[in-house]
Amino acid sequence: MKKYLLLPMFFCYLLNVFAQQDAWVYLKDKQNVTSSIANPISILTQKAIDRKNAHNVLIDARDVPVNESYISQLKGAIGISVMAKSKWLNAVHVRGSETDINNLSTTYSFIDSIDFADKSLNTLKFTKQKSKSKLENVFTVFEYGDAANQIEMIHGDELHLADYTGTGITVAVIDAGFPNVNTMSSFQRLRDAGNILDDYDFVNRDDDVYTNATSSHGTWVLSTMAGYIEGDYVGTAPDASYYLFVTEDALSENPVEESYWVEAAERADSLGVDVINTSLGYTTYDNANYSYTTADMDGDTAFITRGANIAFEKGMLLVNSAGNSGNKSWGIVGAPADAAGVFSIGAVQANGTYAAFSSKGNSTQPTQKPDVVAQGQASYVIGTNDVIGTVNGTSFSSPIMAGGMVCLWQALPNKTNAEIMQLVRESASQYSSPDYFLGYGIPNLQTALNTALSLGNNADISQDLKLFPNPTKDIVYFSFPLDQSELSVVIFNALGKQILESTIANTSNQIDLSSFSKGVYVVRIQSENVSKKIKLIIY
């Protein structure tokens, strides 16, 4: 008898839930825009300002916060709950009955438009707001253990050998929760270095992302980038700095999670974050009226996609899982990975062949999707109990790739986010013939670095001493500071014995090492004013 009583009660619950609607309320203006832009430190951190200046990113009205007076008034409206806000889109995510939400536009003159998540409720056609674009080295030789294949596939280990391990790059990981990251031994190295900068849970509106989490997903994702178990596991960017943000409510699927994500991206931008990894995607919702169609995955429709495109314009590098719908009826890349400004990552097996679950691109999307692929089938992660295991999903190919791109950007700090993305695309295995399964293919990050260095137009080259490629089979090239005509080069073997000394000119900046045995060497490069040691691998 009980099961018959429970069924109508369940339907009553659904009716009550779906009577509450979600909507984005777009506002007409902001407060103190001119003065805020003139004094950017009032709205951004110095690190954020420095990053924008370094990459010629305009500080504009989108960086100015939403008018708090407007938010306060909306919070006081009858039947309205304010769930999230976006300064980039000058919008507030609200929840309430259809009637109460519609009443807002007649009550408050500062409202520009209202866009219901259930599009059938929009009585007026919503016009999307278009975005307007305007020393000495200390080396660590890692033993990757179980994680070896997934980093070697993209040649991220070669960047590590050149001491590009993410140092100086700030990453925001936006996910569903990070249980035990604050206590696990696998993240002890990260914590000891002070590289967990901060955290915030946008769902529960608190700073506990460790114990209240309803999912271990974020812990697994973070481990592929920052996890470290000596001799057994190393993430792809172990020395980067991280912000941990929760925007995904694992207990339900609702478009408010898109708004949480945009809020998190805005906070990341204001904190000076360089790279965002998001192993989340949005297509359909518990309330079918809120769901997108595949035609909506056009790089400009979903709220989160539009926010992601602005994040890209703000100079951040956004790396996102393509999705796990390749063998399902949905099939294609979801939001925000559909955005042109998002670097979307599909999945391959350990042998480099397509993983059947990986979401595919299609002609609806404005750019090639996925962009590239990395190992996402049987990816090795570290669980919340410090035990290494395997999981499947583009959720893990994305951070594996993101960590590698973090190291590449460390090596090429004067490149823009778009330039880093393009270098990685061009290095990939099928760049000349991309498809909807693997995109441009599997990248070679060492090739990407060598390409950038060989062009000779990266500002870092004029400020530092470098050699490439590294590792090498034979020829090694040297970059020169602009004001230097020659360099002194001394090579030592692993025992510290000097085995070569040479002076090279900028007109012939190479040495043939084909007679050297395979192994690890230390190269000391000295210009008139600077001396530097670099570990060199000959294979």
| pLDDT at residue number 140 | 55
This prediction has a pTM of: 0.79
CATH number of 461-538: 2.60.40.3080
Q: What's the start-to-end Cα distance of the chain, in Å?
A: 74
Phi then psi dihedrals of residue 264, to 5 deg: -65, -40
Q: Of 71, 69, 52, whose CA–CA distance to 60 is shortest?
A: 52
**Residue 217 and residue 395 in contact, taking contact as beta carbons nearer than 8 Å:** yes
Give the 3-state secondary structure of residue 335.
strand
Statement: residue 328 has pLDDT above 90: yes
Return the active site residues: 175, 217, 395
| pLDDT at residue number 535 | 80
Q: Of 327, 369, 281, 304, whose CA–CA distance to 93 is shortest?
A: 304
β-pair type (510-512, 475-479): antiparallel
Cα gap 322→331, rounded to integer Å: 11
Q: Where are the domains of the chain?
A: 14-30+65-121, 148-454, 461-538
Cα gap 201→293, rounded to integer Å: 29
* Cis ω for the linkage preceding 471 (within 30 of 0): yes
Q: Of 99, 106, 163, whose CA–CA distance to 135 is shortest?
A: 163
**Strand (E) positions, 422-527?**
466-468, 475-479, 486-492, 498-505, 510-512, 519-526
Architecture field, domain 14-30+65-121: 2-Layer Sandwich (3.30)
What does the pLDDT look like over 392-432, one tens digit per residue? 999 999 999 999 999 999 999 999 999 999 999 999 999 99
Q: What confidence tier does 471 reach under pLDDT thresholds 50, 70, 90?
A: confident
Statement: residue 55 has pLDDT above 80: yes
* Cis ω for the linkage preceding 8 (within 30 of 0): no
CATH topology of domain 148-454: Rossmann fold (3.40.50)
Give the 3-state secondary structure of residue 78.
coil
**Residue 501 and residue 489 in contact, taking contact as beta carbons nearer than 8 Å:** yes
| DSSP summary character for residue 111 | E
Span of 137-141, 167-171, 183-187, 197-201 with lowest mean pLDDT: 137-141
| DSSP summary character for residue 435 | B
Q: What confidence tier does 539 reach under pLDDT thresholds 50, 70, 90?
A: confident
